[in-house]
Structure 1
Amino acid sequence: MQQFQTEERYSLETLLPINTLYDHEHGLTQEDVDAANKLVLHIERTRNPRVPQVGDRVRYTTRYGDFHGNALIEAVREDGTFSICLCPYVPFVWRTAGGIGCAVSGGPFTVVAPQALQPAGTVPGNFYDWGHCGACGNGAVQFCAEVPLWEYREPEPLYGDFTTERWRKIRLHKDPERRDGDLYRGDCISFRTEEEFQMFLSDYEGAVFPVYDPKSVIVWCYRDEERAVSQKEWDALDAPVTERRLYNAPQPVKLVKDRERHTTVCYYVRPEYAVR
């Protein structure tokens, strides 16, 4: 069932901005443009909004809450299931009798039954094909075609509705002996005391989950955003003043929760540098 059709998508002028390195090395030609347009036409004409196919994209959420918004259906296995690359690089593409084949680097890879994928609209998908110079260094031409987007969530989620699509996920290790000076330490974050940790949970709407390691926890919380404002804007903000270390020095800040974006915005007065 042919649902996606297009006229010629690219010209030399519109294909060049996404292929500047190729153009520098080999020179983008009209032959390259024509080849890209033929592949775009073939890809879009062979898509089906009700049947997932190789080359389509997937919004994939693992049972650990990790969200991958641009996963790729990269192959059909012998048993009819799909091989899906969760974090793909731009795939190389070629024509097949009923659609396209893809070769992709990246990972990890997982397997999903076709009937488990739910339609979620369409999305621009990036692809590569070798240019007029053939397979050589920097010899791939990139282009974009409209493809179906699908949704899949692994069953039995460990953290309910928490996912990294809208929430921040932090793994913390607790060291009661404070051998490095911190009670909790994770990637790019640490807390010296339990009081500091509890204040963070309050400021960032945090929820704590145990894991198999009794000395570790998973924290789901609001994302953090810093925003510099003028003194006038600072004074107008209706929020309590607290303290945070910014640029390696403690300074007053105001925290405002953006509940729609699941983000706590940290406002501070923008430093004014005198012109000498």
Structure 2
Amino acid sequence: MKKYTLETLKKENELFDSYYGLDESDVEKVNRIIEMIERSRSIDVIQKYDVVEYTNEYGEYFPKATATMKRGENIELCENAGVHLSICDSKLCGSVSGGAFNHHKENEFAYKGMSSNTFWTWGNAGACANGGIYFTATVNLWECNDNKEMFSQKTHDKYYLSYRKAENNGDYQYFASKAGMNNYAWRTKEDMQAWLRTKRAVVTEKNTWGGAVIWTYKEIEHHLSDIEFDALNAHEDIFLMNGSKRRCKRVYDDKNYILHTYFVWYWEDDTQEFYTRMNNQNKIIDSYEVDYRKNEVNKIALEELRSGIVKPLEVKFN
């Protein structure tokens, strides 16, 4: 049974179809490539184009890495791969863009089950702008773990903590960055420590670049109505959002390293017309904003630190 029909392939390739028009030759080509991929799988040994849940030595997690080359027992792995496939002399051939690339032995991969992977090929218009057709095929799923850190991004968030002495009073001095971008900043060490406590952070000893690597719980935000929020049995805290301070409630899942943060934000309500609903909800949402000057962010953590219930984390800056 063919995986794609003309209609189902169009749904996944609306851009190509709007430019050039998909036809049955595209469907035939895609289904032929899928057939060649899927019949070459093995649960005993990883194959080219299989999906890998990969954790590198720095704890960075890539849930959809791709095996892009196999030579004997040597496997090339791409953490974020774009894979182009075509049929050359009745054989499957392709090219890969993306990165980073690293190399492993096939015995470093553990079979986990089945998954899907996304590929692309040139359509009936040939190699041209917007001429690629995208499709998915069923492949095997493997795991490869090179992690040398205390945790990994599979279960935690990883930040780089740094310090820059403020030139003026009131300037930010402490920064937490993730994926090369500054995500959080604080003026005082106490505010930084309150955030670390709220996020259940752990500081590693790696400070060779002048800062510290920290691992925190993953945070999941939940939008609630005012009725749902008021009924939730959880500790109330304050968090910063869009330049305002708002009430929230927090629940910790220590088993899975997750911080659940609940706050009043737009919710479904089919009983009112859209603009009426938005106007009414905006008023309710605004009522959960607190006075910026009189209230402190992460107040629960601040109280714990000030009372001595918890100790500040030791963070060394070179």
The TM-score, its normalising length taken from structure 1, stands at: 0.86
Residue 116 in structure 1 maps to residue 108 in structure 2: yes
Residue 141 in structure 1 maps to residue 158 in structure 2: no
> Shift of the alpha carbon at 1:80?
4.6
Structure-2 change in CA distance of 1:114 and 1:101 (3 Å): farther
Alignment of 1:28-47 (within 5 A): 28-47=22-41
SS at match of 1:232: helix
> Shift of the alpha carbon at 1:133?
2.4
> Shift of the alpha carbon at 1:96?
6.8
SS at match of 2:99: coil
Distance 2:38 2:221 in 1: 42
> Shift of the alpha carbon at 1:69?
1.0
Residue 87 in structure 1 maps to residue 80 in structure 2: yes
SS at match of 1:273: helix
Residue 273 in structure 1 maps to residue 282 in structure 2: yes
SS at match of 1:265: strand
Distance 2:77 2:120 in 1: 18
> Shift of the alpha carbon at 1:97?
8.4
Which residue, 158, 169, 183 being the options, matches 2:158? Answer: 169
Distance 1:133 1:230 in 2: 50
Q: Which residue of 1 aligns with 2:174?
A: 184
Distance 1:72 1:183 in 2: 40
**Structure 1: gaps of 5 or more residues:** 1-6
Measured against aligned partners, the alpha-carbon deviations of 1:94-133 in whole angstroms (never above 9, x if no partner) come to: 3478973331111111111112111111111111122222
Measured against aligned partners, the alpha-carbon deviations of 1:36-72 in whole angstroms (never above 9, x if no partner) come to: 1111111111111112121111111011100011111
Contact 1:54 1:102 in 2 (8 A): no
Distance 1:59 1:158 in 2: 16
Distance 2:254 2:89 in 1: 49
Q: Which residue of 2 aligns with 1:9?
A: 3
> Shift of the alpha carbon at 1:227?
3.0
> Shift of the alpha carbon at 1:24?
1.1
Higher mean alpha-carbon deviation, 110-119 vs 194-203, is at: 194-203
Higher mean alpha-carbon deviation, 229-238 vs 185-194, is at: 229-238
Contact 2:33 2:92 in 1 (8 A): no
Which residue, 137, 149, 159 being the options, matches 1:159? Answer: 149
SS at match of 1:17: helix
Structure-2 change in CA distance of 1:150 and 1:273 (3 Å): closer
Matched residue count: 263
Structure-2 change in CA distance of 1:214 and 1:94 (3 Å): closer
Structure-2 change in CA distance of 1:99 and 1:72 (3 Å): farther
**Structure 2: gaps of 5 or more residues:** 177-181, 267-280, 284-318
Distance 2:131 2:76 in 1: 27
Give the aligned residue type for 1:107: G
Structure-2 change in CA distance of 1:116 and 1:100 (3 Å): farther
> Shift of the alpha carbon at 1:146?
0.6
> Shift of the alpha carbon at 1:168?
0.8
Give the aligned residue type for 2:252: K
SS at match of 1:104: strand
Higher mean alpha-carbon deviation, 9-18 vs 235-244, is at: 235-244
Q: Which residue of 2 aligns with 1:101?
A: 93
How many percent identity over aligned positions? Answer: 27
Which residue, 102, 124, 127 being the options, matches 1:132? Answer: 124
Alignment of 1:221-236 (within 5 A): 221-236=216-231
SS at match of 2:98: coil
* Root-mean-square deviation (Å): 2.4
Residue 206 in structure 1 maps to residue 201 in structure 2: yes
Structure-2 change in CA distance of 1:241 and 1:179 (3 Å): farther
Measured against aligned partners, the alpha-carbon deviations of 1:2-48 in whole angstroms (never above 9, x if no partner) come to: xxxxx211111111111111111111001111111111111111111
Distance 2:232 2:125 in 1: 59
Contact 1:54 1:101 in 2 (8 A): no
Structure-2 change in CA distance of 1:145 and 1:88 (3 Å): same
